Amino acid sequence: MTAVALTARAARRLRRVAAAGRRPRGGDRGTVAVELAIGVPMLVLVVLIAAAAFVMGRANLDVNAAAAAGARAASLARTPPAATSAATSAATANLADRCVSLTIDVHTGGFHRGGQVRVTVACTVTTRGLTGIGLPGATTFEATATSPIDVFRHISLGPAVGAHPEDTDDA
C-alpha cells in the first residue's frame, strides 16, 4: 500500500468516527434557558453582596468620622463635663438615624493643657433594610479618635469661669 492509500483510508475512518459521535440537530435546545436559570440568580447575589459591602464600608467611615468630630469638639471644651457633652453631641449629630444602637465613651483623664481627650464610638448597623426583603443581621462598628488639647488655649480664649488651675495664667 502506498502512503496515499493509507491517508485516504485514515481520512474515511476519521469521518465515520466523527459522524457517529455527532449529536443530532436540536440537541442544544434549552441550554440557554438553563444557563439563564443559573446565571441570573448568581448575578443578583453578586449585586446584593456588592451593595452590602458598600453600605458596611460607608458605615465604617461614618463611625470613624463621628469619633474624630467628637474628639475635636471635646478638645475645644473648657471643662471635662463640657468636653463629654460636646463630644456626645458631635458624634450623635454625625450618626443621626444611622445606628440601631450608639455608644459614645469620652475619656477625659488627660484633660489639661497639653493633654489629650479620647473618644470611642460604637455603632450597630442593621442589614434589614439593605435588600428590601428583610434579611436579619446587624454589625457593630467601633472607632477611637484622640485629639490634643492646645497648650496655649488660655492665651487666646482667656481663663474660663470655674476652670482648672492649669487653664489659668498661674500654671
pLDDT of residue 171: 43
pLDDT of residue 164: 53
pLDDT of residue 37: 86
Which residues make Cβ contacts (< 8 Å) with residue 43, sequence separation at least 6?
A: none
Its pTM stands at 0.67
CB atoms within 10 A of CB 74: 31
pLDDT of residue 136: 79
pLDDT tens digits, 90-115: 999 999 888 889 999 999 888 888 88
pLDDT of residue 69: 95
pLDDT of residue 152: 75
What is the distance between the terminal CA atoms of the chain, rounded to a whole angstrom? 116
H or E stretch at 108: strand 101-110
pLDDT of residue 104: 94
pLDDT of residue 105: 95
Q: Which residues of the chain have pLDDT under 50?
A: 167-171
